[in-house]
Structure formats: C-alpha cells, structure tokens
Structure 1
Amino acid sequence: MSKGLQSFLTVLVSLGVPPLVLLGVSLASGGALAPGVALIAGGVFGLGYGLEAGLLRSYDLSTGVGWVGLIVDLTWSLPNTVFGFLIGNLTYVWFGNLSRSNSDGQGWIVFMPRPGSSFGRTVLQTLGTVNIGGAGQHEKMHLLQARIFGPLYLPFVGASYVITFTLQVLWTITLGGLLKLIGVRQKAYFRPPAHSAVGGFFGWIYYATPIELWAYATGNP
C-alpha cells in the first residue's frame, strides 16, 4: 500500500469514525449530547486529526498493528486522542515543530523541540497520541497506557496526581518538616530518584503516580 493511500485512508477513517462514536454516546446517554452536536463535533475533530496524522503518515496502514492503533485511538481511546490533539497541539507548537520522520508509521504525532528549547529535549511528554521529544525515555508506554485504559485513563491520571500531591503536602508539613527541623532529613519533602525526569518537590508528585512508576519500570525503549 502506497504512503499516499495510507494518508488518504487515515483522513477518511478519522473523518467517519468519531462522529459515529459520539452519536453512539448521544443515543446511549438519552440525548445528553445532542445528536447534531455529536456529528458536527466528531466531524470537525476527525477532519483536523485525520489531516494532521495523515500528512505525517502516523499510522502504517499496510499492517494490522497500524489499523488497530488507528481504530482504538478513534473509538475506545477517543477521549485521550481528543485531549492530546487539542492540548498537545496548542502547547507543543510553542516549543517545537511537527516531525514527519519521527511520526511516520509510529502511531502518534510528534513535535521535535526547536534549538534552545529544553522542553522536548530534557523533559519529554505524551498527551494521548501527541508527543514532544520523540520516543526517548518511556513515552511510547504512555501511548500504550492510554490505549489500554481508554476513557478511564485521564480520570485515573488526574486522581493519581491529586493523591500524590496530597501525600507530599501532608508529609512535608508534618513528619517530614519535623525531621528536617531536627536535622534527620536534608529536605522535608519526598524526593524522586535521580533518574526521574522531574526533580524537587513536584518531582516526587510526578514520579510516584502509577503510570510513571509503570513507565519507568519499562526502561527506555
């Protein structure tokens, strides 16, 4: 299958599937989301996502893996795909440029950092299917996690951060602070290990979330 045909099919499938998924949500919810709104919103998103992923040739549709990735991203993992497409594009465009070479056949959309930008170079990030920095660290694992957990992924990540933030604050202002005061600890707060991409107070909040513990345990694929 030619690259051009794969790009065309990516746009076509992306344009057709999300409206149907949102229409199904509308019907299942008894019209909580108006059918017309569902079709229009799904079509607008699908066209935008399809064009971006298609032009970058993100999905290798000459393989079954590529088709599965595209269909999962547009159905079960659609909330993550929409979130990443909107937030990722609005954020990463300030730090990097879209990269076809790093997106081609990889199942995601990649921004590579511009010269002088540490974001995407020393700290990589993946939101849904949109990434900055490429496949270093463990970013492909976050892509897989989103596809596995689907609509549960974002709520789970949000709840995890609330829990780790709360634990960090409570420890710091109680026992951690006391141990620091009497000289037992260098820092009142929990610190992440040296290999964490983020350090300091917020580094432990980030590192201790289940998705990051899982991802770091996989190494650096």
Structure 2
Amino acid sequence: MSKALKSLLIMMVSLAVPTLVLGVISLVSGGALAADVAVVISVVFGLGYGLEAGLLRSYDLSRGVGWLELLVDLTWSLPNTVFGFLIGNATYIWFGTLSRARSEDKGWIVYMPRPGSSFGRDVLQTLGTVNIGGEGQHEKMHLLQARIFGPLYLPFVGASYVITFILQVLWTITLGGLLKLLGVRQKAYFQPPAHSAVGGFFGWIYYATPIELWAYASGNP
C-alpha cells in the first residue's frame, strides 16, 4: 500500500466512522444527542483527527492490526481518542513538535519534546492516542488500556485519582503526621518508589492508581 493511499484511507475512515457511531448514539438515545449536533461534532473531529493521523500515517493499514487499532480508536475507544485529540494536542504543542518518524505505523500520534523541555523527556505522557515523548517507560500500555476499557477508561482513571488523593490526605493528616512528629517517618505522606516518574506528595497519588501500577509492573518499555 502506498503512503499516499494510507494517508487518504486514514482520513476517510476517521471522518466516516465517528459520523456513523454518533448517528447511532443519537438514534438509540431517542434524540438525547441531537442528530445535527452529532453530525457537526463527528465532522469537526473526523476532519481534524483524520488530517493529523493521516499526514503522520499513524496507522499501518497494510496490516490487519492497523485497521483494528484505527477502528477501535474510532468506535469503542472514541471518547479517549476525542479527549486525547483535544487535550493532548492543546497541551503538547507548547512543549514539543509532531514527529512522523515516531508516529508512522505505530498506532498513535507522537510529539517529541523541544530542546530544553523536560516534559516529554524526563516525564512522558499519553492521552488517548496522543503522546509526548515516544515509547519510553510504559506509554504504549496506557494506549492499550484505553483500547481495552473504552468509554470506561476515563471515568475509571478519574475515580482512581480521587481515591488515591483522599487516601494520601487522610494518611498524612492522621497516622502519617503523628509518626512524622514522633520521628518514626521522614515524611508524613506516602512516597512512591524511586522509579516513579513523579515524586513527592503527588507522586504516590499518581503511582498508586491501578493503571500506573499495571503499567509499571508490565515492564513495557
């Protein structure tokens, strides 16, 4: 398959499939999502995502797995893809530049950090199918998690952070604080292990979420 054809197919599928998905949602919901609103959302997203992923040739459509990744990202995992497209691009553009070399045939969109930027170099991140920093640490695992859990992924991640934040705060202001005053602990709060990408008080909140425990335990590079 030629590169031009691959780009064109990614653009066409990215426009057609979300339109179909949101149209079905509008129909099934009895108009809770207005048909005209569904069309506008799907067209705007489809054109934007299709152009970006298509020009970067993010999906290897010469292989079945590439088609599967694209279709999953535009159906079951569509909320994650939309979230990553909007928030990821709006954030990462300030710290990096799009990389075709790191995106092509890899099933995602990658920004590489600009010189002097630690974000994307020391700390990597993946939102939906949009990443900064490439495949280091375990970023591909987060992409897989989003594809597995689909529309449940973002609520699950949000709830996980709320729970670990509450646990961290409660421990710090109660037993952890007491043990710190007695000299038993150096820090009142839970600390993440040294290999955590984020340290300190918020580092444990990040590290102790199920998606991060899974990703670190996977050893996925």
**TM-score, structure 1 normalization:** 0.99
How far 1:220 moved relative to its partner? Answer: 3.8
Matches within 5 A, 1:198-209: 198-209=198-209
Matches within 5 A, 1:79-118: 79-118=79-118
* Mapped partners of 1:171, 1:21: distance in 2: 44
Deviations 1:79-132 (A, max 9, x none): 000000000000000000000000000000000000000000000000000000
* Mapped partners of 2:59, 2:143: distance in 1: 13
Deviations 1:113-155 (A, max 9, x none): 0000000000000000000000000000000000000000000
What's the counterpart of residue 144 of structure 2?
144
* Mapped partners of 2:61, 2:196: distance in 1: 35
Check conservation: 2:95, 2:117, Cα contact below 8 A.
yes
* Mapped partners of 2:26, 2:41: distance in 1: 12
The sequence identity of aligned pairs, in percent, is: 83
- State the AA in 2 paired with 1:42: S
Deviations 1:160-196 (A, max 9, x none): 0000000000000000000000000000000000000
Where 1:136 maps in the other structure, the secondary structure is coil
Of the structure 1 ranges 122-131 and 37-46, higher mean CA displacement relative to structure 2 is found in 37-46
How far 1:219 moved relative to its partner? Answer: 1.2
* Mapped partners of 1:94, 1:170: distance in 2: 35
Check conservation: 2:192, 2:204, Cα contact below 8 A.
yes
What's the counterpart of residue 169 of structure 1?
169
* Mapped partners of 1:173, 1:46: distance in 2: 48
Where 1:112 maps in the other structure, the secondary structure is strand
Which blocks of at least 5 consecutive residues in structure 2 are unaligned?
Answer: none
Aligned residues between the structures? 221
**TM-score, structure 2 normalization:** 0.99
What's the counterpart of residue 70 of structure 1?
70
* Mapped partners of 1:81, 1:38: distance in 2: 16
What's the counterpart of residue 33 of structure 2?
33
What's the counterpart of residue 155 of structure 2?
155
What's the counterpart of residue 5 of structure 2?
5
- State the AA in 2 paired with 1:194: A
* Mapped partners of 2:220, 2:198: distance in 1: 16
What's the counterpart of residue 51 of structure 1?
51
Where 1:111 maps in the other structure, the secondary structure is strand
The runs of at least 4 aligned residues of structure 1 exceeding 4 Å deviation read none
- State the AA in 2 paired with 1:45: F
What's the counterpart of residue 61 of structure 1?
61
Which blocks of at least 5 consecutive residues in structure 1 are unaligned?
Answer: none
CA RMSD in angstroms comes to 0.5
